[in-house]
Amino acid sequence: PRTVIFISKQEMDVNAQKWVLLGTDGTIAGTAAVAGDNLGYSAAQLSVQALWQGASSLPEGGAPWLLEQVAQVDSKDMDFAVWAALAQRCQQHLADPTVGGIVITHGTDTLEETAWFLYCVLAAQLQHKPVVLTCAMRPASALAPDGPQNLRDAAAVAMAPGACGVLVVCAGEIHGARQVYKAHPYRLAAFSSGDAGPLGWVEEGQVRLAQNWPLAQSGRALVAMKNIVNGALWPRVDIVMNYAGASAAVVDALVLSGAQGLVVAATGNGTLHYALQDALERAQASGVAVRVATRCPLGQMLPRPSATLPDAQGLSPVKARVSLLLELLAAQA
């Protein structure tokens, strides 16, 4: 049975003096020409200040919030420059003893990748502080936008005592960076943690936990972060998929065009069409780093003793790609 812990607004961390809201945008900051158009809108139009005002004064208690616009991007266009800037802003704020935690506004489309990236590179600083990503499925101009409530909920989580790690808050649910993925292209509750279920919920500004806050593992990807700060060149890591009739063509073309890493979204428990398997083994032999993840949305692959290609240790294909990027970044002298 799950332990359920209630945290009241009155119990918020009394040592922290301020919290930080970083804007990268997405649909939460989107607007449509026609009020109420939930599909034909442009993402990333409103400033983080406007979103803050739209959420009409966050959780009670008067804690000061520092607002900062890091980027204004539709998250389908997320790139390494924004990731580098975001990680550095988080690193700096988390090192400030007066900062209790950070909320980030982000598009839903690649949110799980940014969450995993930040979890890996900031892990050492996440032992006692949270970085909470939030988002919206409807633009700010919707007749009933979900962004303001999500932002209020994310702020409540950032201020909850004991909150730590990289968390995702959407539609009243709290998810951890490792498990979370976008599971639905339209519903307001678009995120899932699959078999694991959400870490907890936010209900009228109160956090109810079903699981413990995720423990951040210190020391992960620290060298990669140092290299990112020093302007290292990001390696090229691509994702390929196994499917009926798959061939060597995509892998061969990617290797020819300079990919340094390849993640394959394999079928089932890491199975690959023989032609794709041969191509990936050739790629690995030529020095390309290869990882095998599964395209199944639930559960995780069990390693097979006879496997000739390393598995992605339970990560989804997009998160395995993030981890491989960081591994290759860390390997740069």
| Active site amino acids | 27
Query: Residue 237: CB partners within 8 Å, gap ≥ 6?
Result: 259, 260, 261, 262, 263, 289, 321, 324, 325, 328
User: Is there binding between residue 112 and ligand SIN (CB under 6 A)?
Assistant: no
**Rama region for 142: left / alpha / beta (φ>0; ψ in -120 to 50; rest):** beta
Phi then psi for residue 23, to 5 deg, are -95, 125
Question: Positive or negative CA dihedral for 148, 149, 153, 159?
Answer: positive
Q: Tell me the closest approach of the beta carbon of residue 136 to ligand SIN, in angstroms.
A: 6
Is residue 169 a contact partner of residue 153, using CB atoms and an 8 Å limit?
Answer: yes
Closer Cβ to ligand SIN, 43 or 239, answer by number: 43
Of all residues in the shown chain, the one whose CB is closest to ligand SIN is 107
% helix, strand, coil for the chain, step of 5 = 30, 20, 45
Closer Cβ to ligand SIN, 184 or 304, answer by number: 184
Give 209-213's long-range contacts (Cβ < 8 A, gap of 24+).
Answer: 209/3, 209/4, 209/5, 209/7, 209/174, 210/2, 210/3, 210/4, 211/2, 213/130, 213/162, 213/163, 213/164, 213/165
User: Is there binding between residue 173 and ligand SIN (CB under 6 A)?
Assistant: no
Q: Tell me the closest approach of the beta carbon of residue 27 to ligand SIN, in angstroms.
A: 3
Q: Tell me the closest approach of the beta carbon of residue 318 to ligand SIN, in angstroms.
A: 13
Q: Tell me the closest approach of the beta carbon of residue 317 to ligand SIN, in angstroms.
A: 18
Q: Which of 137, 239, 262, 309 binds ligand SIN (CB under 6 A)?
A: 137
Per DSSP, helices labelled H in 99-248 are: 111-122, 147-158, 222-229
Q: Which of 13, 109, 146, 153 binds ligand SIN (CB under 6 A)?
A: 109
Q: Tell me the closest approach of the beta carbon of residue 85 to ligand SIN, in angstroms.
A: 16
Q: What does the per-residue mask of binding to ligand SIN show for 19-38, with x meaning CB under 6 A?
A: -------xx-----------
CA distance 145 to 153: 14
Closer Cβ to ligand SIN, 145 or 235, answer by number: 145
User: Is there binding between residue 107 and ligand SIN (CB under 6 A)?
Assistant: yes
H/E segment holding residue 203: strand 200-203
User: Is there binding between residue 43 and ligand SIN (CB under 6 A)?
Assistant: yes
Is residue 99 a contact partner of residue 133, using CB atoms and an 8 Å limit?
Answer: no
Q: Which of 105, 108, 150, 179 binds ligand SIN (CB under 6 A)?
A: 108
Give the total of residues touching ligand SIN (CB under 6 A): 11
Cα-Cα end-to-end distance for the chain:
48
Closer Cβ to ligand SIN, 109 or 238, answer by number: 109
H/E segment holding residue 21: strand 18-23
User: Is there binding between residue 311 and ligand SIN (CB under 6 A)?
Assistant: no
CA distance 133 to 131: 7
Closer Cβ to ligand SIN, 75 or 323, answer by number: 75
Closer Cβ to ligand SIN, 76 or 304, answer by number: 76
Footprint (CB under 6 A) of ligand SIN, residues 63-102: 74-76
Instruction: Report the interface residues with ligand SIN, using CB under 6 A.
Output: 26-27, 43, 74-76, 107-109, 135, 137
